[in-house]
């Protein structure tokens, strides 16, 4: 797994996953899987320098409006001051942005207390 293959001490980084009542079509599931993989990878690589302790959380649910809300967050060092996705040269977050557009979704990135990335899109399943 990605978690086991990382260079992070597994005893110091806790993984939390909570996914509730979401049905996805294959055209949604694949981009969501790639987004989660990329964001967890970024957290493992960048959020916990110096062998810091922390956690990475993956949460997903269907909101009252029928939108899928998918959040990947960590308790790491957060994002650098002046972070701007539009001018970022990080291939990983550019991929996340493109996959979110493919889902016709919105992307919200917060990096002040760790990092949290929230993807929101209308599921095509059940339409």
Number of domains in the chain: 1
Cα torsion 32, 27, 108, 45 to 10°: value is: 30
For residue 91, what is the enclosing H or E element? helix 91-102
* The pLDDT of residue 3 is above 60: no
* The pLDDT of residue 34 is above 90: yes
* The pLDDT of residue 9 is above 70: no
Position 112 scores a pLDDT of 83
How much is the average pLDDT of 24-52?
93
CATH number reported for the structural domain that contains residue 65 in this entry:
3.30.565.10
Residue 112 lies in a domain: yes
Owning domain of residue 27? 23-122
Residue 2 lies in a domain: no
**Lowest mean pLDDT segment, chosen from 4-8, 65-69, 80-84, 99-103:** 4-8
Residue 109 lies in a domain: yes
Residue 4 lies in a domain: no
Residue 14 lies in a domain: no
pTM, to two decimals: 0.87
Residue 45 lies in a domain: yes
Residue 77 lies in a domain: yes
Q: Strand locations in 2-125, DSSP E?
A: 13-19, 54-62, 67-74, 106-110, 115-122
94 vs 10, more confident: 94
105-125 residue pLDDT tens: 999 999 888 999 999 999 887
Residue 59 lies in a domain: yes
Whole-number Å distance between alpha carbons of 24 and 4: 27
* The pLDDT of residue 39 is above 90: yes
């Amino acid at each position: 797994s990605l978690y086991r293959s990382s260079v992070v001490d597994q005893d110091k980084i806790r993984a939390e996953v909570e996914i509730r009542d979401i049905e996805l079509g294959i055209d949604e599931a694949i981009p969501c899987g790639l987004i989660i993989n990329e964001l967890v990878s970024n957290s493992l690589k960048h959020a916990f320098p110096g062998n810091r302790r922390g956690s990475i959380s993956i949460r997903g649910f269907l909101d009252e409006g029928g939108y899928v809300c998918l959040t990947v967050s960590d308790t790491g060092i957060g994002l650098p001051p002046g972070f701007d996705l539009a001018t970022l040269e990080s291939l990983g977050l550019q991929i996340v942005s493109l996959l979110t557009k493919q889902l016709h979704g919105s992307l919200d990135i917060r990096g002040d207390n760790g990092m949290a990335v929230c993807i929101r899109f209308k599921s095509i399943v059940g339409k």
